[in-house]
Amino acid sequence: MGKHRNCRDREPITAVVDILPSPFGWIGLAVSERGVFRVTVGHASRESALRACRSVVVWQRQVPARVAALAERLRRALEAYVCGEMVGFDDIPLDWSPVTPFQQRVYLHCRRVRYGATSTYGEVAVALGKKGAARAVGQALSRNPYALVVPCHRILGSNGDLTGFTAPGGLRLKERLLAFEREVAARNPYRDAH
C-alpha cells in the first residue's frame, strides 16, 4: 500500500501493492484509486517483483476498501490466468495517469486481441488510423505498465516474428506466454476471452 506521485498532476495516489508466484516468474501488481496502475511479470524473485511495483509508490498504512477490493479482484484474475483459465481482463479498470493519450489508445486496442490470438504492430497502427506507425505502436507497447492485463505479448512483428518484449525474461517469456495461451485455447475451443 502506498502513494505514488503522478507525473502529470503531482497529486498523491493511494495504491495497494501485491505479488504472486507464477509459472512465468513472479508477478507484481499495484492498484490505485483510479484502477490498475502497474502489472509486471517474469521476475526471478519475489523481491524483484516487489521492487518493480514499489518503485512507483511510497508506502502508507491505510487504503480505501474499494482499492483493496480491486487489488484482490485483479489478484484472483491473475491467479486464474496462470492456472490455465481463459481469463479476460476487460472489466478491470486501468489507471491511465502514467501513460500518454497515444499509449492509451494502443493499450485499449490491444485489450481487444483475443486470448490465444495475435496481431501485429502494423495491424494495430492501421486499426488506430495511423498506417505506417508500427514503430510508434511498438514503442508504446515497450512501455506497457499493465502486463497481461494489456496483453502486449500478443502483438508480433509484421512477418509474425517475436519482437520487442521488455518484461524480465524478454522474448523467451513472450514465447512461453503465447504457447501457454494457444494450448489453453485449444483445450477450450468454445470459450471466448480477451
Catalytic annotation, residues: 152
User: And the C-alpha cell for 60?
Assistant: 502508507
User: And the C-alpha cell for 135?
Assistant: 514503430
Beta bridge partners of 58: 3
H-assigned helices in 35-193? 46-54, 65-82, 101-110, 121-127, 134-142, 170-187
- Rounded CA-CA distance 188/158 in Å is 28
Beta bridge partners of 95: none
**How many residues appear in the chain?**
194
End-to-end CA gap in the chain: 29
CB 100 within 8 A of CB 159: no
| Residue located via cell numbers 510508434 | 136
| Residue located via cell numbers 504457447 | 179
